[in-house]
Amino acid sequence: MTHPPSVTECCGWIAEHCTAALDSLDDPEKSDCAIKKDVTIALDSIQVLLGALDAPQTEIVQLKDRLRKLRQTSVELQTPLCDKDKNSRRNGFKKVIQCVLDLCTICKIPKAMSYVHPGDYKTESPKILPRRSGPSQYQSMWPEHIDSKASWFRRHFVGKGYVNLIGPLRSATNTRAKQPALSDDGSYGIISVVRERAKDFCGPGNGAAAVLGSQYRIIIRGREVTVSDTKVDTLLMHGGSKSTNWRHVIHETMAKETLAYLDTVGQSQYLDHSPLEQRRGRTFRNASIDNNASKLMRAAVLAAHPGLDLRNFKELSAEVTIMTGLEKELLRFDEIGIPQRYKFGVINIQDGQATEEEWFANTGLSAPLERFLNILGTRVNLRGYMGYAAGLDTKSGESGETSYVSRWREQDIMFHVTPLMPFRDHDRQQVHRKRHIGNDIVCVVFIEGNQHFDPKAIRSQFLHIFVVVHPEVVNGRDCWRVEVVRHKNVIEFGPPLPSPALFFDEDELGEYLRIKLVNGDNAALKSDKFSVPNIKARKGILKNLVETGLTSPTSMNRTLSTTRLARNSSVLGRQQRPDGIERPKSAGAQRTSRSSIRNFSAGSPPRSMTPDTPPIPTPSRSTLLQDLKSFAKRRSSGMPPRKETSSKLGPLEDLSERVYEHTVPKITNDEGVGRFSSDKQHEEEPGSERSPQLEPNLSSRPIPSSPDGIRSRAQNLMSSVMNRRPRGASSAGDKPYLGGPVPQML
C-alpha cells in the first residue's frame, strides 16, 4: 500500500492479520515468540484505528477502555511466572485476537455525520496519517498534477549555448519510408539540448563519473514518438504519468560511448547535419559549440532515444532561437500547464435549501460564514482593485463592492462569493451570480445548518470538485468538518484528508484548503472535459513552433549582433571588450523588436566590434579654408593678428598650429599669428565673448601679383590642403606630411 489507508482499509488489513493469526495458533510447531508478535501487532493496529476513528467521544472512550483490558490480559499471558500450561496460554491469545476482530467490526460502521449525497460523484475517504501536518507543512508542499520539470527550459537553457533540433520524431530503421510532411499530425517535434556541468548527476551514464565532467540536458517536445517501433504519447509530459520519459539527463561519458558505437557499426551518419546545411557550409553558431560539441549533443539525444535519424533535423543555435522569437514561445509552450492564478467559487447553504436557485439567492454574511471567509482570505474593495479580479467588475461595482482574495506561494487566488454579489429580484436564477460560480472548476460549499448538499443540483459544465465545510462544536471546541467531492472522471488529489476530518486550528484549516483547492483545480484539468481541448490546442501551438523553426535561418548575421552591441554600449567611458560576437539577450530579459528581425533578414554590411571612441574635435575642410583665407588677407594687408579668445588650448588649436608649421616653413614673423579656432568644433569657456571675424577692406590695399608674393604662397597652400597640386608648386608643397593627424583631418 503506497498511500495512507482509510479507516475501512485499515479495518480490512487488521481483520486479515487476525484471521491468519488465529489459523496459526492451531499449528503446534509455531513458537510462542511468533504468537506474541502477532498479538502485539493486532493490539497496536487497533489502537491506531481507534485514534483515527471519527465517532462521538463517548463511543471512542468505551472502545479504548476495552482495548486497555485486552492489553492487560495479553501481558498476563506473556508473563513467565504464569502457571498456565501451553494450551491454556494459546487459548487465551485466541480470545484476545477474537476481541480485536470484534472491535474492527464496530469501527467499520460509519459514525461520522455526512452532509453530502454524492450520487455519481466520488467522496474522498479520510486517511489514517501517522502524524497530522501543520500549517508550515501545507505551505511547503509542491502542487500536485503539475510537472515539476516544466520549467527546465527557463532554469537550465535560457542564457546558455543550447541547440534546438527540429525534425520528424520517428524511427530511422525504415530508411525507405517517405519523409513525413509537416502537416502530418505528430510527425515533427522540437528537441532542445544543452551542455552543463555535472554537479548533481541524476541520469544514466558512467557511475564512476557521477559528480564529475559534464552532462547533457534534453527536452523533447512532440505529440508522439516512434522509437524502436513503440509509440508513446508525449503530451503526458506535462503532468502525466510518463512525464519523465521525455526529459533526460545524459552524462557525457554515455554520449561519447554512443558516438564511438555508431562509428564502430558504421551508423555515424545519423549524427550528421542535414544535407542542406552541409551545402551552405559552416554557419555562424554559438562560439562555444564547435563541430565536435555538436556531434556529442546529437549523440546524447540518440543515447536517450535511439533510432532517430538526425540528418533530417534542422539545427538552430541559441542566438537564432532568440532573434526569431522562438525562445519566448518555447517558454510559453513548456510552462502552459503551470497556472499563475486561480479562481474558486463560494456558496452557502441554509436549512431547507435544496436547489441551486435557493443557494444563489442567499444574501448577507452570517457570523460563522464571515469567520470562515476570513480564514480563507482577505476582504478587499473591488472598486479600483489592481490585482487579479477573475472577471469581477472593478470599476462600476456591478459584481459587488467587496470580495475575498488570497495568495498561495506565487499564485493569486480570487474567491467568487455568492452572498457578496448583487441580488436581483426579477432574476429567479440569479444569472449574473451563476455566471461566475458556474464557470469555476472548484467550489467551496459552506453549510450553515444540517441541510445535505447534492452536487447534481448545480447545473454546470465546469464545476467538477466541491469542498464541503460544516462548522461544529466537539468537546466544547469550535471546529470545521471538511468533505471533498469530485466528479468520477477526476483523479484523486492531495493532500489526503486526515481522519477524523475535523480541523480545530484556523491556520491549519486555511492552509489545507488553499493547497487542496489548488491541487483540485490542477487535477480537474487532467480530466477528459478539459484535457481533450487542451491537447488539441497544444498540438496546434507545437505545429506553429515547428513551422517557425523550419522557416528560420540557420545562421545569425553578424550585423544584427554588432548593431545590438553598439546600441546597448555607452559612447564614453566603456571598457573595450574582446573581439567577438556578443550573445543577444534571452527572452526572459528583452524581446527583439520587429525592426531587428527585419534587419536580420536584410543583412546590412558588418561593423567593427570595437566600441566607439569619444568624439575628438576635428576641423572641417570649409572652416580650415576660411581660416587660411583670413590668414592670407592679414599677411598681405599687414593688419595685426587676431587675439586669442580663450587661454585654454584645445586639441584643434595644437593640430592647426602643427599644420602651418609644416606646410608653410618659409613664412616668417609667426609669433603674432593666432591659433585657429572653429565655431562648430571648439567650445567657448563660460562668460567669454567670441571675437568677430575681421574682414579687412582689400580694395584700398592693392596686393602684388608676383609669383613670390604672399598671395601666391596662400594659393599654393590652399591647393596642397585640398590635395590639388597645381603646376609649378613649391618644394615645400611637394614634401609629404608624416605627422599622422593631417590626413585624417583632411
Is pLDDT above 90 for 405?
Answer: yes
Cα–Cα distance for residue pair 446/520, rounded to 1 Å: 17
Residue 102 lies in a domain: yes
Q: What is the pLDDT of residue 634?
A: 61
- Domain shared by 564 and 481, yes or no: no
- Domain shared by 195 and 60, yes or no: no
Rounded to an integer, the average pLDDT of 433-443 is 92
Cα–Cα distance for residue pair 306/729, rounded to 1 Å: 82
Residue 549 lies in a domain: no
Cα–Cα distance for residue pair 26/129, rounded to 1 Å: 35
Tens digits of residue pLDDT in 294-307 = 788 888 888 888 87
Q: What is the pLDDT of residue 442?
A: 95
- Domain shared by 646 and 570, yes or no: no
Q: What is the pLDDT of residue 587?
A: 56
- Domain shared by 48 and 101, yes or no: yes
Residue 87's pLDDT band (cuts 50, 70, 90): confident
- Domain shared by 687 and 598, yes or no: no
Rounded to an integer, the average pLDDT of 82-111 is 79
Cα–Cα distance for residue pair 192/164, rounded to 1 Å: 5
Please give the mean pLDDT across all residues of the chain.
73
Q: What is the CATH number of the domain that holds 517?
A: 3.40.50.11210
Distant-in-sequence, close-in-space partners of 299: CB < 8 Å, separation ≥ 6: 255, 256, 258, 259, 262, 271
Question: What percent of the chain is modeled with pLDDT above 90?
Answer: 22
Residue 138 lies in a domain: no
Residue 636's pLDDT band (cuts 50, 70, 90): low
- Domain shared by 207 and 232, yes or no: yes
Cα–Cα distance for residue pair 731/649, rounded to 1 Å: 31
Residue 497's pLDDT band (cuts 50, 70, 90): very high
User: Which residue range is the domain that position 680 belongs to?
Assistant: 621-745
Q: What is the pLDDT of residue 463?
A: 93
Judged by average pLDDT, the poorest of 4-13, 404-413, 517-526, 651-660 is 651-660
Enter the pTM of the model: 0.67
Judged by average pLDDT, the poorest of 11-20, 75-84, 487-496, 573-582 is 573-582
Is pLDDT above 70 for 104?
Answer: yes
Q: What is the pLDDT of residue 12?
A: 87
- Domain shared by 318 and 366, yes or no: no
Q: What is the pLDDT of residue 256?
A: 86
Q: What is the pLDDT of residue 371?
A: 95
- Domain shared by 629 and 589, yes or no: no
Rounded to an integer, the average pLDDT of 248-266 is 83
Q: What is the pLDDT of residue 418?
A: 94
Cα–Cα distance for residue pair 168/165, rounded to 1 Å: 10
- Domain shared by 381 and 233, yes or no: no
Total domains in the chain come to 5
- Domain shared by 159 and 258, yes or no: yes
Rounded to an integer, the average pLDDT of 541-558 is 80
Residue 346 lies in a domain: yes
Q: Which CA distances in Å does 3 have to 51, 139, 493, 497?
A: 18, 21, 12, 12
Q: What is the pLDDT of residue 186?
A: 56
Residue 738 lies in a domain: yes
Residue 348 lies in a domain: yes
Rounded to an integer, the average pLDDT of 200-220 is 68
Is pLDDT above 90 for 731?
Answer: no
- Domain shared by 376 and 448, yes or no: yes
Residue 278's pLDDT band (cuts 50, 70, 90): very low
Q: What is the pLDDT of residue 73?
A: 86
Residue 136 lies in a domain: no
Residue 326 lies in a domain: yes
- Domain shared by 183 and 317, yes or no: yes
Q: Which CA distances in Å does 259 have to 203, 253, 296?
A: 18, 10, 7
Residue 717's pLDDT band (cuts 50, 70, 90): low
